[in-house]
Structure 1
Amino acid sequence: MRINRRASTGVAAVVLALVAAGCGTEDSGGDDGDGGSAAEEQGGFTPPDLPMLDELGENEGTLSVLAWPGYAEDGSTDKSVDWVTPFEEDTGCEVSVKYFGTSDEAVSLMKTGEYDVVSASGDATLRLIAGGDVEPVNMDLIANYADVWPFLKDRLWNTVGDVNYGVPHGYGANLLMYNTEEVSPAPTDWSVVFDGASDHSGAVTAYDSPIYIADAALYLMNTQPDLGIENPYALDEDQLAAAVDVLKAQREHVGEYWSDYLKEIQAFTTGDSVVGTTWQVIVNLAQSEGVPVEAILPETGSTGWSDTWMIGSKTESRNCAYAWLNHIISPEANAAVAEWFGEAPANSKACDLASEGFCDSYHAGDEAYAEGIWYWTTPIEECLDGRTDVQCTTYQDWTTAWTEIKG
C-alpha cells in the first residue's frame, strides 16, 4: 500500500467571491435523508448556466486528466498498479495525466481549459462550479453511479440546486492517534490535544495547514456552545479569535506539525510524538511496523475529506470524460485507487474486490461513522452555516491566523 495524500490544502478564498450570496449550510458527514433538499438550501448560489450532456456519442480518442498524485496510475510508478491502461484499451481514449499538489493549483489549472476531468476536494469544488470551470454531470449516463454509497451523493460540495457536478470518489476522516504505552487512560475526545495538551507537552502533533483551524473550531463547538459555532468552517471574527486562542495555547505543547505522513510515522516511532491528528492509512502503516498506536474517531466528530471527479466545461472530449468518470468509480478501479491511495472507496461493490479487511479498516460504507465527519470546505465571507447577519472569515483570514499561531 502507498499513500499519496496531499500535503497541503491551501486555497485562495478571494476566488470564492464569485459565489454571489453564499454557499448555504454545510453539514457533517452523514446524509440528512433528503440530499436534494439539502442542496436547495445553498441560498443565493447561482452557478453559470451551462448545458448538461443528454446522450453519449463516439469517444473522441484523447483525455486530459488533472489529478491528485495517486489517483490516475498507469503502471509507471509500480507495474502492478495500473487502472489507466485498461481504460485506454476499453474506450480508445488515450490518457495524459498532470498531477497537482494543492486545491488552489487545481483551480488555477482548470481555468486554463486545458483539462477534461479533475479530481477535486471539497475545498475546490464550489470554486470550480461558481467559476464555470466545470459543468453539470448527467448521472443517468454513468452506470456505476448507482453503486455509490448513498450518503456520499447529493452533498453540498458537489451538488447545487439538485444538479450534480461530479461523482464521489473516495473519503476519509482525520483521526485522533495516540501511543498506547504513553497516553493513559486512552483518550475519548479531542481535549487531549487541546485543554489537556500540557499532560503530553512537547509530544503533541497537529496537521500543518490553516484548515486545521477547523479542528479547533469543532472542539469549541462541542465544549463552548455559547460561542454559537454551528459549522467549523463558518467562523465570524469572534469565533475565529476563540479558535486561534485555543491553537496558540496548544502551540506551547506541540513538538512538531506534520503534513508528510512518513514524518508522522517516524515521530510516533521515535516517541517524539505520542498524540495528535492522523489518517487511517498512517495508523495502519505504523501498526504494521510495530509502533504501539491506536486511533479513534471521537463521538464529538472530526474533520475529513471527500473527493469528486468533475468534468471541465471547456472539454472537447466530453464522451471520453464521461467514460472516465464511469470507469474511475467502477468496483475494479475504485478498489485499486482506494488501496493505493489510502482511503475509503465510494463504490459499495469495491469492497468485494479489495484486500481482506481493507474496507473494515477504513470504515467504508459505514454511514454512522461518516456522519461524524465534517468534510474540508473553504471558509468564505458568506457564512456556510446560513447566517446572514454577520460576515464570516475567509481562508485568507485563516492563513494569516495560522502564521500568527505558529509564530
Structure 2
Amino acid sequence: MTTDRKNRLKECTRLIEEAMKCLENNDKQCVLRKIEELIRVECHNGRLIGKEIADGVREIVHELWLRSDYESRCRLLRILRDFNVSKRWVRDALHTDARTLNTWFVRCGIDWENRMVRSNVVKVIEGLLREKFDWNEIRMCEELMQFIGVNVDAFRKYGIEPCSWLEGLESLSDLRRPYWLGLRTSDLTVRKGNGETELVLATTNAIDAVFFVKLLSTVKVPNLNIRWAKNAKKAKYVHKSIELKYYIDLGIDEWPWLTELSTDELKRALDGFSDEELAEFIAGEIDGDGTVWYEKSASVKIAACKACPKRFILDVLKEVIAERFGIVGDIHHYETDDALVFHSKSAVKLLRRIIKYIHHPLRRLRAELFLALYDGRISREEFERLYDVTKYEIGGPDVKRNNALEALTRAAPQTHTHGGLGTDPTKEKHPTRLIKPLTHRLGII
C-alpha cells in the first residue's frame, strides 16, 4: 500500500468516525459537513479507497436520509450533485430505484443532467489549466491584467505588484472575518431559506468576473449561472450585456453575521472590532461599493443609493473611522447616490491603514500606485502614465465593462486552443458568439 493511500485511508476513517458521532448526537448539519469532507477526499470511491470505506460513506448518507425532512433531503442531494457523485452511487446509498430518485430530483428542483452549470465549472477549468498549461493564480492575474490593458512589467519596474490582491486571500476561507460583513453591507447578497444559506455575487464586468470567483472559492467551489443581464445600463456600444452569477450554498447556520443590520447593531459590531478588524471591514466595503481614483489628489469613495436601506451605513462609517483612526471624510450627495468620500491626505492615510485587506484587483492596484507616488517611489509623470491605463473610458467602449464572459474565458482551456477569443474585446459582437466556445467544451448550455 502506497503512503498516499495509507494517508487517505487514515483520513477517511477519521471522518467516518466523526460523522458517526454527529449521527449519535442527531446533529444533521454536522453530518452534512462531514459528508462533504468525505466526498471531497473521495472516500466514497471504492476503486480508489476500497469497498469497506466506500460502504461506510454510503451507510452514513443512508442514515442521514432516513432521519431528514424534505428540506434536508433536498440539500443532501444538492451536495451530492455538486460533487459530481454518480446517480448510481446515490441510488445504492439511498437504497432506492431510479424512478424514486428522479421523483426526488423533481421535488427538489434539481437538474442532475445539467449539473455542470451549477457546480464544477470553475473546478474543471482550474484543474485542466493546472495540468495542461502550468496555470496558477499569478498567471490568471496576469491574463486578467493583460485583458484590461495593464502591462504588469511596467508596474513591477517601480516595485508595484499588480497581483498583490491575491496576498492573504486564503484567510477569507473563514466567514467570521470582518471582511465578509463589509462585503455583505455592499455587493454580497445573502439569502436564507429551504434549510440553507446562499451567498451570491453577480457581475457583467471583466475584473469582477475573475475577482468574484476567486473570492467565493476561498470558502467553497462556487456554482455559476450565465444569463442575459436584466436592468443593465444601456450604452450605444453594447449590444446586450451578459451577467455571470456566482453562488455558494451553505448550511443555514454557517453564515456567522446578521443578514440585516440596524444602525445600532452595526455601530455595536464596529465598536467591538479591533483596529485591524475594522480596517478589514472597511476594505470589504470598498471592494464592494467603493471607488479608488485620482483627480488632482487621491480619493476614496464608498457609495450607497439614496433609497437603499443600507444608506445609514455611510453615517456610521464616517463616525467610526473619525473616532478610531482620526480620518475625517465627507458625505457627498448626488442625484441617485450618496457617498462617503475621503480626499488627499485623508484618502492616503485611510489606504495605508487598509491596503493589505483590499482584494479587488483594480482598486488594490490603484491604491498601491497612489502610495508609491506619495512615498516618492515614482515620479508624477510616470504615475500619470501608469494611472491612465487603469482609468475607465467615459462615454465609449471599455474592455473593463460588459465583458465578464470574455474575461472568464481567459481562464478557460479553449482560450488557448481556439485562438482569437477576446483578442479585440472593444469591438461590438453578438454575445452568443462569446458564449459558445466556452460553454461547448464545458457542457454548460
TM-score by length of structure 1 reads: 0.23
TM-score by length of structure 2 reads: 0.22
Larger radius of gyration: 2
RCO higher in 1 or 2 (8 Å CA, sep ≥ 6)?
1
Bigger share in helix: 2
